[in-house]
Amino acid sequence: MEFDVVIIGGGLVGASLAAALKSSGLRLALVEGQPSPTLPTDPAEWDSRIYAVTPGNAEFLRDCGAWQKMDMSRVQQVEEMRVFGDSGAELDFSAYQIGAAELTFILESRLLQQALWDGLQQQDNLTLLNPARCAELTWQPDAAHLKLADGREIRAKLVVGADGRESWVRHQAGMAEVPTPYHQHGVVANFSTEKAHHGIAYQWFSPDGILALLPLPDKRISIVWSVSPERSAELLTLSPEELCTQVAVASQHMLGDLSLITPPSAFALRVLNLAHITKPRLALVGDAAHNVHPLSGQGVNLGFRDVRQLAETLLQGGAQGDCGELHLLRRYEKARRDDILSMQLTTDALKHLFINDNPLLRTLRNLGLSATNQFTPLKKMLAKHALI
């Protein structure tokens, strides 16, 4: 099988790249190990994988044809965010202050996944290979060669690795950089709440962890609680009632009593910074290209911005020539470097600043929050950057 671009990984990032290239004239293939996604028949069932999607990326997904296909009754707009330090300091962001309708959208992974795949199944220039497992990937000067476990062979001008943080493609390419562990786990779960959240997201920084409450439609929230591995293991063994109590206490009972609606799970946190995210006939996107701390909620947004830039680069140069040439791919890499690095440095600095018992740092970090909250131009600049 001959293609211009083979995308390995059909999650949100890989699927959105295929959708973004629907009018490119390029011959595309998407290789995914799982069957095509389907939504549960019970509307009371909620996905524990929750993402924040910026307005800029929501517009990109609309251009892909996916955003307008989602059930918007299951999508929550965030109009305000309140951030609390560990000594009474507070920082507030409001969409109203910057003339925006919302700061971000909170949604279920599978809701967007289904909307993207609905479009992919109708896409004329795309061949879907799923479920399919990759077996071997090699590169020659003129093409990449992919062999699937069932014996099928694919030849492509460009392979895009969109296969997540444990990327098989990245390892096949010999990109051997080792992620730096944060020695923290992110505990995630969804809850119903006693009080209405009014479209407000909350975050608490404390020396022993970072707790984020993300609003879901009606009186529901999703949490991401970044804690030590030992604390994570403890939280996962609690009864639903005990977990609800501990989350309510950690969130200062901001939304009253809680009831668990999805079982908790946890994942190890780390940062991955690659020297390059491209090689001849190879480009990486999303978690295959970079890992960041989830405290900013920007992981999937970085991935969508990767896709936006790579699609633009290929549309400008790849459709007319060889889309796997390194000089073209380096344009994509150069355009993405600053955004990726600044997000990694910012989240890394915040993590180390707050997960620290040093009394001087405690004073400085809380003074910094309070000062930022009082300086309206800086607040507006930070909030506007988060909309991209």
Q: Which of 150-154, 162-166, 211-215, 350-354 has the lowest mean pLDDT?
A: 350-354
Cα separation of 39 and 41, whole Å?
A: 6
pLDDT digits 0-9 by tens, 137-185: 999 999 999 999 999 999 999 999 999 999 999 999 999 899 999 999 9
Contacts of 144 (CB under 8 A, 6+ apart): 6, 137, 138, 155, 156, 157, 158, 159, 281, 282, 324
Give per-residue burial for 167-204: e unless 16+ CB within 10 Å, then b: bbbbebbebeeebeebebbbbbbbbbbeeebebbbbbb
- Give pLDDT, residue 378: 54
pLDDT, residue 363, reads 66
| Span of 4-8, 88-92, 149-153, 195-199 with lowest mean pLDDT | 88-92
Position with higher pLDDT, 360 vs 250: 250
Tokens of residue 372, six digits: 């930022």
Amino acid at 194: E
pTM for this one? 0.94
Higher pLDDT, 381 or 94: 94
Residue 163 and residue 30: Cα distance in Å, rounded?
A: 11
How would you classify residue 199: left for phi > 0, otherwise alpha for psi between -120 and 50, otherwise beta?
A: left
- What is the arithmetic mean of pLDDT over 272-283? 97
Please tell me the predicted confidence (pLDDT) of residue 385. 66
Question: Does position 236 have pLDDT exceeding 90, yes or no?
Answer: yes
In this prediction, residues 32-37 reach a mean pLDDT of 95
Average pLDDT in the chain: 92
**Cis previous bond, 240, omega within 30:** no
Res 87 pLDDT > 80: no
- Return the pLDDT at 85: 82
Q: Is 351 helix (H, G, I), strand (E, B) or coil?
A: helix
Residue 223's DSSP bridge partners are: 189, 213
Domains of the chain (ranges, CATH numbers): 2-36+121-177+274-350 (3.50.50.60), 77-106+183-269+356-385 (3.30.9.10)
**Is the confidence at residue 232, as pLDDT, over 60?**
yes
Mean pLDDT of the 176-197 span = 96
For residue range 284-340, list pLDDT tens digits in order. 999 999 999 998 788 999 999 999 999 999 998 855 679 999 999 999 999 999 999
Residue 37 to residue 53: CA distance in whole angstroms: 20
The model's pLDDT over 117-129, given as tens digits with 9 standing for 90+, comes to 999 999 999 999 9
What is d(CA 317, CA 255) in angstroms, rounded to the nearest whole number? Answer: 51
Contacts of 207 (CB under 8 A, 6+ apart): 86, 354, 355, 356, 357, 362
**How many Å apart are CA 21 and CA 360, to the nearest integer?**
51
Please tell me whether the peptide bond between 181 and the residue prior to it is cis, using omega within 30 degrees of 0: no
User: Scanning the structure block, which residue is given the tokens 């990449």?
Assistant: 144
> Rounded to an integer, what distance in angstroms lies between the CA atom of residue 350 and that of residue 108?
26
% residues pLDDT > 90 (the chain): 79
